Amino acid sequence: MLHTVLRRRAAGERVQDIRMDLIIPTGRRKGGNPSLASLYRALADYDKTQAHPEVVEQARAEFAELRSGAR
């Protein structure tokens, strides 16, 4: 879903307009549209991971280390 929003936003569409075409595939809200706030949160999280890829990689490595030590 995020990929669709990123692609269409890059083509000049507004997030508000894209939202109406998206359908939640699973869960309690299955079949509904995601909220505008959820889309903007997902876009903000994506922007953070793109701005600081080294921090994301470090966090993944630390998480993997914790999981392997816990077993």
Each residue's pLDDT tens digit, 6-41: 999 999 999 999 999 999 999 999 999 999 999 999
pLDDT at 69: 78
Q: How many helices (H) and strands (E) does the chain have?
A: 4, 0
**Residue 70, pLDDT score:** 61
Residue pair 15/39 in contact (Cβ under 8 Å)? The answer is yes
pLDDT, tens only, 1-14: 899 999 999 999 99
Report the distance separating Cα 21 and Cα 53, nearest Å: 30
Mean pLDDT computed over every residue of the chain: 92
Q: How confident is the model at residue 71 (pLDDT cuts 50, 70, 90)?
A: low
pTM of this prediction?
A: 0.70
